[in-house]
Amino acid sequence: MKLWLDDERDAPEGWHRVRGVLQTIHELMYGETYPCEEVSLDNDLGAGEPEGYVVAEFIAFAARHGLLPRMKLAAHTQNVVAKKRIEQAFYEAQASWDWRGV
C-alpha cells in the first residue's frame, strides 16, 4: 500500500489518502496500509494541524529503532524549505535502514 498525506489534493490512483499527522502515524504503525511500501508527504496541512515534517521525523525515529520496515519516501509539498527538511529526515531514515541491513 502507498500512503499519501495531503489535506487538499486527492491521492493518485493506487494510493491511500490521509489528511493529518496522527492519522498518518497510525496508518504507518497499525493501519490497513501496514506494511507500507511508499509514503509521500505534504507539509502545510492547514490551521491547527502539525506539519508533515513531523511524520518525516517520526519515520526517521522509527527507522533508527527498527519499528518500521524500509519503504520508498517522497515529499510532494510545494513548500521548498519544508521539502528540504523532510528530505533530510528521509535521508536519516534510509541511512538507518542501510545500517541495520533492512
Asked if the model's pLDDT at residue 99 lies above 80, the reply is: yes
- Map grid coordinates 531514515 to a residue: 93
pLDDT at 63 over 80: yes
Name which of 9, 12, 46, 42 is nearest 24 in CA terms.
42
Q: Which positions ≥6 away from 33 have C-beta within 8 Å?
A: 1, 2, 3, 16, 27
pLDDT of residue 32: 81
Burial tier of 94 (Cβ tally within 10 Å: 0-12, 13-18, 19+): middle
Q: How many domains does the chain have?
A: 1
Domain that holds residue 72: 2-100
Encode pLDDT of 32-47 as tens digits: 878 899 999 999 998 8
Whichever domain contains 41, its CATH number is 3.40.50
